[in-house]
Amino acid sequence: MTNKSKAFDITKALISVLFVSLLAACSGDDGTPGNPGEPGGPPASEINALNIEVSEVVFSSEIATVNYRITNENDEPVVGVPSATYLAAQLLPQGFTNAGDASQWQYFTSESCSSSCDGDFVDHKNGQYSYTFSGAFNGMNNIAFMPGATQRIVIKVGGDTLPDGTALPVTNQHFDWQDNGGEPAYTRNLIEMQTCNTCHNDLAFHGSKYNEVETCVTCHNADKVSNPDNVFAPMVHSKHLTGFPVSLADCQTCHVADETLTENMNWARVPTMQACGSCHTNIDFPSGQGHPAQVDNSNCVACHNPDWTMSAHSQADTDAVLAQFNAEVVSAELNGDAVNFEIRLSNPATNEVYSDSADKLDFINDLRVYANFGISVDYTTRSAKSIKLQDIEPISGSNGTYQYQIAGLTLSDDPTTDKGTLALQGRLCSNGAMLANCDDTETTTTIDSSYQFFSATEVTDQGRRMVVSNETCGSCHGDQQLNYHGSRNDLEQQCQLCHNPNMQADASAINPAASTADYKHLAHTLHAGSRESYPDINYPGNIGNCAQCHTTDEAGILTAALPLSAAVQPMAFNDGSFTSATSAICSACHLSDSAKAHMTQQGGVFNGSEVDATAGTESCATCHGQGAAVDVLKVHPIQ
């Protein structure tokens, strides 16, 4: 073979190799090379959320390397993340330190990467990243690494920007592993973050860097914090001792039963002095104050077994009592300025109707019916008329259905087309899980208040708009668990019968909305902590997240949207002046002179005549209405 032929063959071979290499390089969707088995794909161009997926932890020479992928909400790779924080901890099993002790995390280290790294950071330029810790976990923070124990790595990214200026939202992700990166045989997860966020929205700490329970417990343990009060369980319990919106006895407000949690019902299964004592602050276990002396947790479960603990913190008796009684309005009609109505009392547990009227049922402690009229104007009077059924005989009736009358209603201008509302509230006498004769017990159970709309001739399902619901309020307060004025707990319709626009604001107040008991202003200012009579209220969520309390209408639109319902009335003042409806609501939070000037320029009326305040001059919805440039549903942090 000639030298020329050899050269040709070599050139041909090189071209073939180059061609194969080019083909390999084009194996990704966009031609971006990826790691073996990990094609690159087009990088994310828009990022509203970050997702971190840990693929493995490689444990070599006792040093851990974590490999992970970061994507956006559309599963597109996020390339060029500039910084990250890495936490590492180890789990001691239940009973490991001493009989009766709960499982607990041991903190190893926190390492970070930005302009420099504690360990070894690799950006693979395709959404894949690797981090190798600076050294072996064994001995870090004076903690001995335990082969076979569950280990945890937490990765925190976000709060900064990509090189092109794209903002990165903060994201935490934990990964539990065992031995050489394998699936752990056990771990400790008691609470879902979404449970916390039913009240707190996007709960985050330490400069909003950490927003997962799994991250919090990785550091807030006895091997990291110097103050025992800052260990996670006692710290969280003690922080909820004041201002908690439901009964502290209801552990499952936070410890929601969830079989997907590895330590579901841990609060009942593993009682400890540390956890229980952080709520039962009147007890000193070692000294025997308020409880037989206990030197450790070894004997707790002997008395406080799961069944006992659940029973002591349970609403089961209350639920059982409530299940034995139901009161409902079955008919209603106007009779002059009175409403005639029929009430049926029944036992849903047995599907039986109580044959006697309320005044003859010995287990009824209190049963009242309230009435107000004029749904078109958010009611005609500030005080609803009422009667106590246990104190009066019905007008007529038999076999469980009895007739009553509430007289003296103030009717609206056209009662034939308008509607009213009847609301029921009350308390039942009980002994344990059973109804009982009120002469034999002092224990009472508050019923779930209810309501019924009525027209001039009949009961109706259509009535006053629903702006908040018992369900939305219940996300923090528990479903109808918040009782006012004795036994009123229907927050979606009952409260408004009295707390309506007929309530007056103080004309001299800096924030008039905080001086009136009109329901919409009362609710807003209570949660904003701006009412002088309630200085200790600390709303746990983002006050601008209207969806926390507001419900949606039949069209699926949040009821905080503009324009307001025509039934919404202006704010009335004790000097006879009025502020137009939309301006009154918005200025409860937007108090500045410039904000009020803006509202006035758009037709808002502050402390004017009733004629001016109801003239319809407000043009707020033009810019702030649904779909407009600055729609209130867009400019508020609604989730």
Residue 198: closest CA among 264, 140, 252? 252
Do the beta carbons of residue 121 and residue 289 sit within 8 Å?
Answer: no
pLDDT of residue 10: 36
Local structure of residue 401 (DSSP, 8 states): E
* Residue 367 banded pLDDT, cuts 50, 70, 90: very high
Averaged pLDDT score across all residues of the chain: 91
- In 133-256, the DSSP E strands lie at 150-157, 171-178
Least confident of 110-114, 131-135, 248-252: 248-252
Q: What are the two backbone dihedrals, phi and then psi, of residue 235, each rounded to the nearest 5 degrees? A: -65, -50
299-320: string of b/e by CB count within 10 Å (b at 16+)?
ebbeebeeeebbeebbeebeeb
pLDDT of residue 5: 43
Q: Quick check: 559 pLDDT over 50? A: yes
Q: Quick check: 9 pLDDT over 90? A: no
pLDDT of residue 35: 52
pLDDT of residue 32: 39
Query: In angstroms, rounded to a whole number, what is the distance separating the alpha carbons of residues 552 and 508?
Result: 35
Do the beta carbons of residue 468 and residue 551 sit within 8 Å?
Answer: yes
Mean pLDDT in residue range 606-633: 96
Do the beta carbons of residue 375 and residue 321 sit within 8 Å?
Answer: no
% of the chain residues with pLDDT over 70:
94
The neighbour count for residue 10, using CB atoms within 10 Å, is 10
Inter-CA distances, 483 with 33, 244, 477, Å = 63, 14, 10
Query: In angstroms, rounded to a whole number, what is the distance separating the alpha carbons of residues 175 and 153?
Result: 5
Q: Quick check: 36 pLDDT over 60? A: no
Do the beta carbons of residue 371 and residue 352 sit within 8 Å?
Answer: no
pLDDT of residue 39: 56
Question: What are the tokens at 38?
Answer: 């990990």
- Cα-Cα-Cα-Cα dihedral sign, residues 131, 132, 133, 138: positive
Question: What are the tokens at 375?
Answer: 């749904």
* Residue 40 banded pLDDT, cuts 50, 70, 90: low
Query: In angstroms, rounded to a whole number, what is the distance separating the alpha carbons of residues 430 and 28?
Result: 70
pLDDT in tens, 62-72: 999 999 999 99
Q: Is 67 exposed, middle or buried (0-12, 13-18, 19+ CB in 10 A)?
A: buried
For 454-488, the DSSP string reads E-SSSEES--S--SB-HHHHHHHH-TT---BTTTB
For 568-624, the DSSP string reads PPPEEETTS-EE-HHHHHHTTT--SHHHHHHHHHTT--SSB-HHHHTS----HHHHH
Query: In angstroms, rounded to a whole number, what is the distance separating the alpha carbons of residues 137 and 273?
Result: 30
pLDDT in tens, 400-438: 899 999 999 999 999 999 999 999 999 999 999 999 999
Q: Quick check: 31 pLDDT over 60? A: no
- Cα-Cα-Cα-Cα dihedral sign, residues 204, 205, 209, 215: negative
pLDDT of residue 25: 37
Q: At what angle do helices 470-477 and 193-200 cross, to 10 degrees?
A: 110
Q: Quick check: 292 pLDDT over 90? A: yes
pLDDT in tens, 524-542: 999 998 988 887 788 888 8
If you search the block for the tokens 């004592």, which residue do you land on? 277
Q: Quick check: 27 pLDDT over 50? A: no
pLDDT in tens, 306-363: 999 998 898 889 999 999 999 999 999 999 999 999 999 999 999 999 999 999 999 9
For 485-530, the DSSP string reads TTTB--TTTTGGGTSSTTSEE-TT-SSGGGG---HHHHHHHHHHT-
pLDDT in tens, 164-191: 999 999 999 999 999 878 889 999 999 9
Task: Provide CB contacts within 8 A for 474, sequence distance 6+.
Answer: 480, 481
pLDDT in tens, 488-526: 999 999 999 999 999 999 999 999 999 999 999 999 999
Query: In angstroms, rounded to a whole number, what is the distance separating the alpha carbons of residues 134 and 144?
Result: 16
Query: In angstroms, rounded to a whole number, what is the distance separating the alpha carbons of residues 344 and 316?
Result: 25
* Residue 23 banded pLDDT, cuts 50, 70, 90: very low
Indicate the helix (H) or strand (E) that contains 216: helix 213-219
% of the chain residues with pLDDT over 90:
82
Helix (H, G, I), strand (E, B) or coil at 64: strand
Question: What are the tokens at 614?
Answer: 């109801």
Q: How far apart are the first and last CA of the chain?
A: 77
Can you give the pTM of this predicted structure? Answer: 0.81
Q: Quick check: 34 pLDDT over 90? A: no
pLDDT in tens, 194-214: 999 999 988 899 988 999 999
